[in-house]
Amino acid sequence: MSKIDPSVDDVVQEENMLAHATLPRGAQWLVGVAALALGGLAVVLGVGIVGAAVIGVLAFLIGYPLWALLVENKRSATDKLVTGLVWTAFAVAVIPLIWLIYTVVSRGAATISPEFLTFSMRSVTGDDQGGLYHALIGTLIVTGIAAVISIPIGIMTAIYLIEYGKGNRLAKGITFLVDVMTGIPSIVAGLFAFALFTLIMGPGTRFGFGGGVALSLLMIPTVVRSTEEMLKLVPDDLREAAYALGVPKWRTITKMVLPTAIGGIVTGVVLSISRVIGETAPLLVASGFNPNLNTNAFDDSPMMTVPVFIYTQLSEATAKGVEYAWGGALVLFILVMVLNLIARIVGTIFAPKTGR
């Protein structure tokens, strides 16, 4: 082929290389509707709703890439297949969550009332109005104790591991122990606290502080881990910059490294609180049951908590008990949500500002 005008030839070639046939716009909706119709047909034919959903999703996952393969090319078909799989996985993960939220809210909302939130279960029998005030206060106290124990220990451990221990034997040992602690079944933490205070205060001691100790065993490893990750994110350049200004190491840590990482640290701490606030097993064992309000965590008497309240109400197996259990679940759920919200807000407030 003789090239008379190379520029014209180039243009033709470019078009051939860069463009290809494409599916019509909205193709995914077409396939989606078709898949939906197939699912509907399956329902009509007597397949269960779950089976029909599976059929519909599969039809979409196969049909859409296949069409793309026929009209477009292999890469585009792969793209559509993987995109479809990712969305399916996302839905599989999110649907149960939304369902759970919906169930808790719809079944718990009716129970929530000013009385429910301000009454305890003191001498409540039959259809008397009771409430979870005692459990709510107990949860706040027990979780507060756990936080007061875990946050300083956890943060200081992380500071040692990152700032002082870098790779020495002690640090490796501590890291190993923290990993082991992460894996402790929560009931074992409860049994440990129960056994500990049985030894110290006599057999059968169940009280708020014991519950706090049990929860702190579960909380410390998460605080250490999340704080460690945040401290690692502070570049060594910044530490060196502070040293070069004649700032001692401890001041560099307290006045520069911690403020730089504080947003992430606080977020991690709050999330670790919301993780232990719903623990039931360790509290059953370590802080026990109590229908009455008990605000003294150090008094040798059980302290009720919201998860244990839910458990007891459910085991009553009366209509009212089940109702109260859902109410308790909703209260717990709101507590966790509020904590997560706080974590997010704090995280954004303290995040280093770029000013751009």
Give the shortest CB-14-to-other proteins separation in angstroms: 38
**3-state DSSP assignment of residue 47:** coil
Distance CA 152, CA 224 (A): 10
Q: Is 4 exposed, middle or buried (0-12, 13-18, 19+ CB in 10 A)?
A: exposed
- Maximum Cα–Cα distance across the chain: 103
| Footprint of other proteins (CB under 8 A) | 166-167, 235, 237-248, 251-252, 255-256, 259-260, 352-356
Give the shortest CB-156-to-other proteins separation in angstroms: 20
Q: Which of residues 204 and 235 has its CB atom nearest to other proteins in the complex? A: 235
Q: How far apart are the first and last CA of the chain?
A: 56
Q: Which of residues 152 and 248 has its CB atom nearest to other proteins in the complex? A: 248
Distance CA 37, CA 34 (A): 5
Distance CA 173, CA 165 (A): 10
- DSSP assignment letter at 354: -
Q: Which of residues 267 and 274 has its CB atom nearest to other proteins in the complex? A: 267
Give the shortest CB-272-to-other proteins separation in angstroms: 23
Q: Which of residues 75 and 251 has its CB atom nearest to other proteins in the complex? A: 251
Q: Which of residues 173 and 352 has its CB atom nearest to other proteins in the complex? A: 352
Residues 154 and 139 sit within 8 Å (Cβ to Cβ): no
Residues 159 and 184 sit within 8 Å (Cβ to Cβ): no
Give the shortest CB-169-to-other proteins separation in angstroms: 13
Give the shortest CB-232-to-other proteins separation in angstroms: 15
Q: Which of residues 230 and 310 has its CB atom nearest to other proteins in the complex? A: 230
Give the shortest CB-240-to-other proteins separation in angstroms: 6
48: left (phi over 0), alpha (psi -120 to 50) or beta: beta
Q: Which of residues 148 and 238 has its CB atom nearest to other proteins in the complex? A: 238
Distance CA 322, CA 302 (A): 23
Distance CA 307, CA 315 (A): 12
Cα distances from 282 to residues 208, 271, 291, 305, in angstroms, run: 11, 19, 18, 11
Give the shortest CB-167-to-other proteins separation in angstroms: 7
